[in-house]
Structure 1
Amino acid sequence: MTIILTGAVYDFAWHDIPDSIDHILNVTKAKSLGYVGFSQGTAQAFAALSIHPELNEKINVFIALAPAMSPAGLAAPIVDGLMKSSPTLLFLFFGRKSILSSASMWQSILYPPIFTAFIDKSLDWLFDWHSHNITEYQKIAAFAHLYSYASVKSVVHWFQIMRNATFIMYDDDVLSPVVRTSVSSYRPARFPTRNIASPIVLLYGDSDSLVDIDSMLSQLPGHTYAKRLHGYEHLDILWGANVDRDVIPEVLAALSRFSERKKDIVGEDLSYSAAVKAP
């Protein structure tokens, strides 16, 4: 069993995910592997599995932690409304390379608890995450890695998804964020996520503002299993104080149930309903 965790959607789905999986299988000589993704890492897998049918034969289970597909938007009304009205405004504000590239500088200047408190307030304002399930020591250790370098194009793609309220491919036909032309009937294509054949296990928090589980399940195949984590927000699934009881056992159970080795030896039914014991 080989596990990968990844962490932009469009280019990763077309190239990086398939190439990474092929490399791992070539090195390990395994027939298939289990994919564990968090947040954007799940979106990359949703996209890759939907557009590369052959990839479904190589992933024996896809475990999505805090799955991201078509979030409703941000908690900050001004930022949410502005970016949904014209996602390409981000190019105007941040250029076309790295977003929030100054975060590492502020991290090196500020005393760690102060930097952590600033991140905490930002998460509360942007996403309505209060992070009560994450200890202060864990925040100091983990929040320093939260704003790693990311491309502006990736963030623009997410606002395109939010604006269209569906999991669409990146729209490369970038219009001026200031000058608007006549309304066009053109719409970017959706990722055909209902075509995914690999077993899917979703672990999501019911206090996660970025997860609309009903909308997500309507875009996924019927063999998707969803496990609700009471009181969990987005980051809690990685860094929450009780992940050893609530998250990790679910992941290990799904990996064990769907592993190629167990399927070959036991030969039992590995349908999604048998994947993990329901709550």
Structure 2
Amino acid sequence: MASKGNVMFNFLLVSVTIIVCSVLKLRFIPFNNEIKRSLGYPIDSLLNFTELSELYGYTSEEHTVLTEDGYILTIFRINGRNCGHKLKRPPILLMHGLLQSSDAWLDAGPKVGLAYLLSDACYDLWVGNQRGNYYSRRHNRLDPDKDPEFWQFSVDEIGYYDIPATIEYVLKYTREDKLNYIGYSQGAGTFFVMCSERPGYCDKANVFIGLAPAARQTNTKSVPYKILLEGVRYLEGALATTGLYELFAKGSLSQEILAFLCKSSATSEVLCGTGESLVDSFHPGSINNETLRVLFGHFPAGTSVHNIARYGQSVKSSHFQKFDYGSARNLEIYGTEQPPHYNLSAVTVPTVVLYGSNDHLVDTKDILWLIKRLPKVLENKRVSDPLWNHFDSAYSQYTREMIFPTINKYLLKYSRKLNKV
């Protein structure tokens, strides 16, 4: 086995290569899936949400959501294998984190992936995608490959437009008045933005369940994460002059390199598992080798440079606030020289927070800071496994034991059985 020093060097080398290739906008034509299969890529890593869910006997539907500002989002509805007419209401909306897509909830496999677990419990599950990832890289007017305006968004716009539009669509389609919302990391932070900025929308949720919710990230411990965020924050303007507005897109050279390096059992654990641990923290065995081989076929899923820069600001601020454009532009946009703080007291929905002691991306100090400002916390639960980290909430083999019982407890409290739509 390679030494830890060699693995660290290899990981840093790969990271630098990925960033350089992204900055230079090198074009890459990936192998087609037939060639990838012959090269040993796991089949699961090559499938999209509907293909992957159907491979394991689940039925899924693809739906299209149009936001008020013209972004076209693809979302999915997935049904359990043995639910028949026993679906519970209201529907659940499950939302991914930064650089992820809906696929994140399937990558750990049918016995532990959260989308599978919720579907098997006969919940009417809808799985969202936020603007800029490969399922939501469309607009009714703007071309993401030609129009820089497409990429001028961050969590601020996602929370203001994407989350409300998705909620509205699901409720209209299911003819329900409310839903239950589960948000992971960015998927939680954008829900808070919505509650602060869009009066009435918070009332459309019965319960909010936050998995490692990302509001401010002042105490982030991850050095690679902070270097990336602060570097992009500092270089956003310079990157724009080179025409770079999108980062880590699926199918880009950066993602294809990761997928290639992680496809093999011989390299996935040593290189990709260690790399993931260096970004977050070490939790041996939690994200197993097979999941690593699959998830890097779908991750990273892409976002805007502007969104990464926004996170770069979040690690430097002690507040959960809007994008800071500088005093002159802030005055023009917000009417104040400082960016306004989001009103967390507006998150009036009953709230459950689950978090890990070993999370190096959203530190426990920031979680506790957040909990003190949320007015209706039903329970804040530190996961009993002391090594539970940030990525575990999406990809761990221990999801069924560590977090699903609490999630299911509160979903049952706010659910009822109804005939299938």
* Range class of TM-score, shorter chain: 0.7 to 0.9
- Aligned pair in 2 of structure 1 residues 245, 14: CA closer, same or farther (>3 Å)? same
Identity %: 24
Paired position in structure 2 for 1:205: 356
Q: Distance in 2 between matches of 1:27 and 1:37?
A: 21
Query: CA contact under 8 A between 1:5 and 1:36: conserved in structure 2?
Result: yes
The unaligned stretches of length 5 or more in structure 2 are: 1-89, 97-153, 329-335
Aligned residue number for residue 396 of structure 2? 240
In structure 2, relative to structure 1, the CA distance for the partners of 1:162 and 1:191 (3 Å cut) is same
- Post-superposition Cα deviations, 1:139-178, rounded to whole Å, max 9, x if no partner, equal 2222332311111111111111111122111224499xxx
Quickly say closer, same or farther: Cα 1:58–1:67, change in 2 above 3 A.
same
Partner Cα distance (1:6, 1:38) in 2: 6
Structure 1 residue 121 corresponds to structure 2 residue 121? no
TM superposition score normalised by structure 1: 0.79
Q: SS state of the match for residue 144, structure 1?
A: coil
- Tell me the SS of whatever aligns to 2:222: coil
Query: Structure 1 residues 106 and 192, CA, compared in 2 at 3 Å: closer, same or farther?
Result: same
Residue 143, structure 1, aligned to residue 296, structure 2: yes
Structure 2 residue aligned with 1:215: 369
Given candidates 15, 19, 22, the residue that maps to 2:168 is: 22
Q: In the aligned structure 2, how far is the partner of 1:115 from the partner of 1:205?
A: 24
Shift of 1:118: 3.7
* Structure 2 residue 188 is the aligned partner of structure 1 residue 73: no
* Structure 1 residues 148 and 190: alpha-carbon distance in aligned structure 2, compared to 1, 3 A threshold: same
**1:161 corresponds to 2:317:** no
User: Which has more radius of gyration?
Assistant: 2
Q: CA deviation at 1:225?
A: 2.2
SS in 1 for 2:209: strand
Tell me the distance in 1 between the aligned counterparts of 2:227 and 2:318: 13
Contact 1:3 1:35 in 2 (8 A): yes
Contact 2:326 2:337 in 1 (8 A): no
Q: Any idea what SS the aligned residue of 2:355 has? A: strand
- Determine the structure 1 residue equivalent to 2:245: 97
- Opposite residue 246 of structure 1, the aligned amino acid is M
| Aligned pairs (5 A) from 1:7-46 | 7=96, 8-46=154-192
Higher relative contact order (CA 8 A, sep 6+): 1
The answer to whether structure 1 residue 252 and structure 2 residue 399 are counterparts is: no
Counterparts in 2 of 1:81 and 1:53: CA distance versus 1, 3 Å: same
Stretches of 4+ aligned residues off by more than 6 angstroms: none
Cα distance in 2, alignment partners of residues 29 and 82 from structure 1: 43
- Paired position in structure 1 for 2:383: 229
Please report how far the alpha carbon of residue 63 of structure 1 lies from its aligned counterpart in structure 2 after TM superposition. Answer: 0.8
Cα separation, partners in 2 of 1:143 and 1:174, compared to 1, 3 Å: farther
What's the secondary structure of 1:110's corresponding residue? helix
- What is the distance in 2 between the residues matched to 1:150 and 1:131? 29
How far apart are the structure 1 equivalents of 2:170 and 2:201?
Answer: 13
Is the 1:83–1:89 Cα contact (8 Å) retained in structure 2? no
Structure 1: unaligned runs, 5 residues or longer: 176-184, 263-279
> Would the aligned equivalents of 1:107 and 1:115 in 2 still touch at CA under 8 Å?
no
Give the corresponding residue for 1:189: 340
Letter in 2 for 1:205: G
- Return the alpha-carbon distance in structure 2 between the equivalents of residues 245 and 227 of structure 1: 14
In 1, the alpha carbon distance for the partners of 2:228 and 2:246 equals 20
Structure 1 pair 246–110 and aligned structure 2 pair: CA distance change class (3 A): closer
CA shift at 1:124, angstroms? 3.1
Shift of 1:13: 0.9
Counterpart amino acid of residue 173 in structure 2: V
- State the alpha-carbon separation in 2 of the partners of residues 111 and 55 from structure 1: 41
> How far is 1:88 from its partner?
3.3
Structure 2 CA distance for aligned equivalents of residues 49 and 222 of structure 1: 13
Q: Which amino acid aligns with 2:93?
A: I
